[in-house]
Structure 1
Amino acid sequence: MPAALKNPSPRVMGRLRLASQGLLAGGFPSVADAVRWMTAMQAQDLGHALWAVGQRVPGTRASDVRAALDAGTVVRSWPMRGTLHLLAPEDLRWILGITSDRLMSMVAGRHRELGITQDDISHCRDIAVKTTEVLKATEGAHGATREQLFQAFEEAGQSTTAQRGIHLLGSLCQRAWLVQGPMAASSGKAGVQQLFVPFEEWIPESRDVGREEGIAELLFRYLRSHGPATIKDFSWWSQVPLTEARAALTTLHDRLVEVPLDGTSYWLSPETAVLLDDGVPGSRSLLALPGFDEYLLGYQDRSLVLAPEYAERVVPGKNGVFKRIIVSGGEVVGTWARTVSGKSVGVAPEPFEGQLGTAAGRSFEAQGRAYLKFMAG
């Protein structure tokens, strides 16, 4: 192992993560390429997810990401942790094959409280498929909205109150019977919801990957796109049990590089590790990343890039809602917000300490202009 790999600083490790995630240099050539490389990108807030992609694909606009969702070259679903992510369509089914059983076991108690049985889920599958067929035949619709499905469920005697409807829809997606498809228009404008479509109709071709092979591929792709990261980071991110994750790691040692830091093993791709030979770039970089970005949320332990004393500045009250973050040289140094004054929209930095320096302030202003241009497109 080269000497440079033995004791990198946390800031250097953070910049390696920026490089792995396509946030330094040229990024990725297309929306689909970026999402496929990242494997799964947190996307419970669609607006934030659009900018997460935009930061990794220079020259794109929000409309380009929406167009990818409309075309099905990117899909948005619940592949892990019960949280929406962006994925390549061919990856969704085999990842669900690894993760869905554990998630369904975790929500089994809540399903009992809501009176949801396996027969109810099967019944709602039939209702959903029929509803989408009717809408396609009568309105030319490419799927059904959540409200339309809930109405159909209610009319068939399936209550949707008290989150029962959400859990029913989630279960249909976990079983790869439904998937979110094209964007749903709202008053002639681009909305934030998507239509639900029968899985096989929207994703006619899926890869067939066995569990052991799939876990190994998922682990490799995670470390390639998120490294340096730990095996515990991966287990948390994917919800793959540690025992299986560690077994998969033993099959990948010749394809990865290990970096020890403070007694913990971090793993990354050789292509990213080689950056240490000439000095990791990005020491003067400044990025205005969205809330819920994989750069911070893609890890169980976020202290490598976010000092613990500032964690609640990013997630006030630990309420699970992550603010937009400012990343300087691989370190989270503040948050930022979108501002509205009359018809004027802008952005404002909220550094953890003092004010941004002159150069950093100019970089943030450039990032703000890029964000506003991206979201307006």
Structure 2
Amino acid sequence: MDGNTALSLRLRSLLLGPGPHGDVRTVVEWFGAMQAQDLNSGLWSLGVRTGLTLPEVVAATEERHVVRTWPMRGTVHFIPSADAHWMLDLTGVRQLTGVARRWEYLGLDEKIANRSMELLTEALTSAGGRLTRSACVAALTGGGIDVGGQRGYHLLWYASQRGLTAIAPNDGAEQTFVLLDDWVPARFTPSSREEGLAIYAKRYFRSHGPAPVKDFAGWTGLGMRDARLGIAAADLVAVDVDGVEMWADQAVLDAGPVTGQWALPGFDEYMLGYKDRSLMASVEQLAKVIPGGNGVFQSTLVDDGRVVATWKRTVGKRAVTVTVLPHVPVRLEDFESALEGYAAYLGLPLIVKNP
């Protein structure tokens, strides 16, 4: 197949076709992991696929079927709560390989890290299993731990990377943490490392395919050998896309291509799920989506899979104002439904500006 066909099939995989596609739990389980470093972006990624409003999405994240943590690449994702432990053990652990060097820079050591985990366990248990980030930091300080500089953040990250804690929904504007074992309603453990790799591969390619193996390796942080082992053990189909071998889920191929227009957050799997983004945007467009190459992705307007504009929003008490910054000539009326969907998600009237 050609690149345009592959891109339209990706939209199907990414659950951007006719929907909605189930509830929050169903969508997160389909992907296996959804980018959520930026919480507002992560919530809209769920909203655009489920058709739920922001309060409904937040309420669903309180049901404990999904959780935010650092399962791979040192980046926060929404993942199924039941899978948190084995995902941390398989791919999250890779982030711990350089922790000694980080400890040296921060003035930490294994004794301090273990003591911080003890203090967090005691504080969270006493509080019923959930505390705000500031309360967690206060517990460390109260136990004699210096949290100056980046030490406090690192110790909270370390506890989650070790599977002790995880990020729960915000308390107002503040992040909260929970004991992971308390949050998980039912824990799943693959029978072997090979099964875990196969689960990763199946979920990635059914939610991102067609895609090459290097994109799967980049998404998980796995080495190429493990990435290929996962593909070999999963029920996937190889496809040729303009001479490049890619992999996809047969059910997605059978369902066929998708077309349409979407208003997506910057930190969405549509962009973050791939190392090679050439099917979605030109080099010049990517420079506008990621200005300065600083890792901060702008929200995008997507037409039949291709980026055509970025957009910014200002949320007021009476309306949400969206400013569209086109990369190519854009008919704003074509995106009326997509932008109205975002406004409905917020429960506000929409004002669109085109500078």
TM bracket, shorter-chain basis: over 0.9
Shift of residue 342 of structure 1? 8.5
> Are 2:288 and 1:310 aligned?
no
> Are 2:189 and 1:196 aligned?
no
1:274 partner SS? helix
For residues 317 and 18 of structure 2, the distance between their equivalents in structure 1, rounded to whole angstroms, comes to: 36
Structure 1, 90-99 or 201-210: larger mean CA deviation: 201-210
Shift of residue 200 of structure 1? 1.1
> Are 2:24 and 1:37 aligned?
no
Cα pair 2:70 2:92 within 8 Å, conserved: no
For residues 182 and 261 of structure 1, the distance between their equivalents in structure 2, rounded to whole angstroms, comes to: 40
Which of 300, 307, 316 is residue 325 of structure 1 equivalent to?
300
Q: Which residue in the other structure is 2:353 paired with?
A: none
Q: Which residue in the other structure is 2:314 paired with?
A: 339
For residues 195 and 319 of structure 2, the distance between their equivalents in structure 1, rounded to whole angstroms, comes to: 52
For residues 280 and 272 of structure 2, the distance between their equivalents in structure 1, rounded to whole angstroms, comes to: 11
> Are 2:339 and 1:368 aligned?
yes
Which of 202, 216, 222 is residue 220 of structure 1 equivalent to?
202
Q: Which residue in the other structure is 2:236 paired with?
A: 256
For residues 238 and 291 of structure 2, the distance between their equivalents in structure 1, rounded to whole angstroms, comes to: 34
- Counterpart AA for 1:245: A
- Counterpart AA for 2:122: K
Q: Which residue in the other structure is 1:148 paired with?
A: 135
Give a deviation string over 1:277-322, Cα, whole Å, max 9, x none: xxx231xx11001111101110111111111121110011111110
| Structure 1 vs Structure 2 CA RMSD | 1.8
For residues 267 and 156 of structure 2, the distance between their equivalents in structure 1, rounded to whole angstroms, comes to: 23
- Counterpart AA for 2:186: E
Q: Which residue in the other structure is 1:47 paired with?
A: 40
Shift of residue 275 of structure 1? 4.1
2:37 partner SS? coil
> Are 2:119 and 1:130 aligned?
no
Cα pair 1:97 1:211 within 8 Å, conserved: no
Which of 322, 337, 353 is residue 328 of structure 2 equivalent to?
353
Shift of residue 157 of structure 1? 2.0
**Equivalent pairs: percent with the same residue?**
36
For residues 347 and 25 of structure 1, the distance between their equivalents in structure 2, rounded to whole angstroms, comes to: 24
Q: Which residue in the other structure is 1:242 paired with?
A: 224
- Counterpart AA for 1:371: Y
Shift of residue 240 of structure 1? 1.1
The number of residue pairs the alignment matches comes to: 347
Residue segments in structure 2 that go unaligned for 5+ positions in a row: 349-355
Residue segments in structure 1 that go unaligned for 5+ positions in a row: 1-6, 137-141, 186-190
Shift of residue 152 of structure 1? 1.5
Which of 269, 277, 282 is residue 249 of structure 2 equivalent to?
269
Q: Which residue in the other structure is 1:24 paired with?
A: 17
Which of 194, 200, 206 is residue 187 of structure 2 equivalent to?
206
Q: Which residue in the other structure is 1:3 paired with?
A: none
Which of 11, 20, 24 is residue 4 of structure 2 equivalent to?
11
Taking structure 2 as the reference length, the TM-score comes to 0.93
For residues 47 and 251 of structure 1, the distance between their equivalents in structure 2, rounded to whole angstroms, comes to: 35
Q: Which residue in the other structure is 2:91 paired with?
A: 99
- Counterpart AA for 2:177: F
Shift of residue 204 of structure 1? 4.6
Cα pair 2:194 2:233 within 8 Å, conserved: no
For residues 83 and 245 of structure 2, the distance between their equivalents in structure 1, rounded to whole angstroms, comes to: 28
- Counterpart AA for 2:193: R
2:97 partner SS? helix
